[in-house]
Structure 1
Amino acid sequence: MKASALYQTMLRDELAARIAKNARYSLRAFARDLKIEPGVLSQILSGKRFCSESIALQIADRLLWSPDQSDEFLHALARAKKRAGLKRISPNLRARLKKPTSETKQSKDLSLDVFKVIADWQHYAILDLPFTRGYQSDVKWIAAQLGLSVHEARSSVDRLIAVGLMEWQGKVKLLNLI
């Protein structure tokens, strides 16, 4: 498992929020609401495919995100594409890379991540799992053990990494005990 990009985490969080409101809500329903193919959405969430700029704009529009959220989503997509070494990045996304993100935005996002870690029970449970017998650092295994969806488990693990409570070392996630 690799660490997810912020834009994937934002989408997974939105999907998890909708599933929390309606247990029968699915990835297919989410794709329908975003007006994109379910297979495309699945590939985007799993990291097998990047959003195009037009799909990213469509997603931000359909989710009724604020301009700040939309900007952060597009900026995260641009960073992920650059990190992956893609040469075909649209001029608009390239321009977003040149605009620095404000430290206040970053601290606000971090504060939201910290709040979610404190507020949601699954973060504590994930932190305890490495001390159990038969622990596996696989998101599917974590989801099965805690009765979560794979998307919820992946978002929670990504959030724990973002706030520094877990770290990625090769294939194993270890507690950051320092």
Structure 2
Amino acid sequence: MSEEQPHSPWQEDIFNVLKQGNIRQVAYVPDAGHAHVIRRVHAEPSMRGIVLTTEEEGVAVASGAWLGGERAALLMQSSGVGNCINMMSLLQSCRFPFLSLVTMRGEYAEFNPWQVPMSKATQGSMELMGITVLRAERADEVEDIVSAALDAAFEGGEQVAVLLSQSLIGRKKWIRN
């Protein structure tokens, strides 16, 4: 069994908000920024982690979960938001509640220039699709912002995304062999 990688308290806060908010399905494309939450979801008997082949499948999973009487959240990286734009029309047409947590790339100390264009377009793209976008820049605000987004989605019937700043996740390094 592999040893769990160190995590920041805000990452555990996200898991706790999801659990306390009765999120039962968590769809994701594997991402280092969400790794702790993903591990915790898979270890929690009341939750189901669902690995996706592409992010737009997560919009369908979240919609289907709601139709089946459960709450779901979609975890993705900013580079995956562009994959979801067409599917997000389902959220508006059917007025499904929606919660997504998006780890940002292409901003703070980014080494990969391919991440930058979608990073610059993430918030605007989501807003154009009718999704309310909240942003967490500091560790001490993550819990409150994610909790507010969860309430807005599942109590208020909104579609909400929380952008988790790249500075929260930390610098990424390109490792050459």
Flag the structure with higher strand content.
2
Larger radius of gyration: 1
